[in-house]
Structure 1
Amino acid sequence: MLAEKFGKYSDYASVVLRLALGSILFWHGQAKFMNFAGTAGFFGGMFPAPSLFAVIAVLIELVGGAFLILGVLTRLSALLVALEFAVILFLRMLIWKNPLVAFQGGNSFELDLLIFAAAVALILAGSGKLGLERQVFRKELI
């Protein structure tokens, strides 16, 4: 019954996912950009070239987030996001030993896991009918 009612709209599921994930990433990227020194300082304890890794994170989140919102290079943007968040999940679970959910406050990784899963879903699904790339070129470029 629900499939009959909503099944015809399944092509638009990726639009909802793109807008939500892209918005989250864009605002997180903007925060990293606005406090770039703090972002680079945070990466300083983990990576040998903290400024380079900060630039990479900012670009993936700001540009990738904007591309996801617009539906441009969706699969490529989602792939880069998935790679970034695979590293984040590795650090949170195996190195820092953060819990999935922090019931008493503190750091956890449930949002990172959700972002990773959404990115993987967009790698598989693409931009959807309303992606700018599909509207302009009638296909996804990558």
Structure 2
Amino acid sequence: MDATAISSTELDIASLVLRLALGPMLIAHGLNKVRGGLSGTAGWFESLGLKPGWLHARVAAATEIGAGVLVTLGLLNGLGAMAFVGLMTVAALTDHRGKGYFIFKGGNEYVILVAIVAVALAVVGPGRWSLDEAFGLDLAGVGWGVIALVGGVLAAAGLLVTSYRPEKKEAAA
């Protein structure tokens, strides 16, 4: 096989594998928030500075489940990827902030990787075995990669500007 050529079937398989890795993972995160009790999730969000916590617990769970379903099914591909980027940006700037890069220290490694893979999926598309393909929707390509990245970051920024109120730590005397 020519090393510079990739068949459409190979690209379809790669897209499907990416969708089946990303989508169910995010669905599980959302369901975990619900199953674990939204009041506990709300308290955690409050401790991170996302106020009101009760609202953010519900919005995060619904967004994670919704975006996960979209990506898994390959429906509205670019918009699902944008939601992934937004969610991961908020996580990076709240829960993982100031903890370095590596996830084993609580850092941003995981959320950065998930966001980058979501942008890549927005560029390559959900593939032939997707609802976008079945419905004739074309929400993929470089433009959709940019939309996923910029739109996700802007959505996260909007959420943080309106709702992020971390407790101020007192200076040591």
> What TM-score do the two structures reach when normalised by structure 1?
0.83
Q: Which residue of 2 aligns with 1:38?
A: 40
Offset from partner CA, 1:36-71 (integer Å, 9 cap, x none) = 111111111212211111111111111211111111
Q: Do the aligned partners of 1:82 and 1:116 also contact (CA within 8 Å) in 2?
A: yes
Q: For structure 1, which segment, 53-62 or 124-133, has the greater mean C-alpha deviation from structure 2 after superposition? A: 124-133
How do 1:47-86 residues align onto structure 2 when only pairs under 5 Å count? 47-86=50-89
- Consecutive unaligned residues of structure 1, counting only runs of 5 or more, are none
Q: Which residue of 1 aligns with 2:118?
A: 119
Q: Which residue of 2 aligns with 1:87?
A: 90
- How far apart are residue 127 of structure 1 and its match? 1.6
- How far apart are residue 25 of structure 1 and its match? 0.4
How far apart in 2 are the matches of 1:51 and 1:125?
Answer: 36
Moved over 3 A (4+): none
How far apart in 1 are the matches of 2:105 and 2:133?
Answer: 42
Greater Rg over alpha carbons, structure: 2
Q: Which residue of 2 aligns with 1:3?
A: 3
Q: Which residue of 2 aligns with 1:12?
A: 13
Task: Report the secondary structure of 1:7's partner residue.
Answer: coil
Q: Do the aligned partners of 1:92 and 1:109 also contact (CA within 8 Å) in 2?
A: no
Alignment RMSD (CA, Å)? 2.2
Task: Report the secondary structure of 1:10's partner residue.
Answer: helix
Percent identical: 32
Q: Do the aligned partners of 1:40 and 1:53 also contact (CA within 8 Å) in 2?
A: yes
Q: Which of the two has greater helix per residue?
A: 1
> What TM-score do the two structures reach when normalised by structure 2?
0.69
Q: Which residue of 2 aligns with 1:138?
A: 136
Task: Report the secondary structure of 1:3's partner residue.
Answer: coil
- How far apart are residue 141 of structure 1 and its match? 6.3
Relative to structure 1, the CA distance from residue 106 to residue 14 in structure 2 (aligned partners, 3 Å threshold; closer, same or farther) is: same
Relative to structure 1, the CA distance from residue 92 to residue 134 in structure 2 (aligned partners, 3 Å threshold; closer, same or farther) is: same
Q: Do the aligned partners of 1:60 and 1:77 also contact (CA within 8 Å) in 2?
A: no
Aligned length: 136
How far apart in 1 are the matches of 2:136 and 2:130?
Answer: 10
How far apart in 2 are the matches of 1:38 and 1:3?
Answer: 51
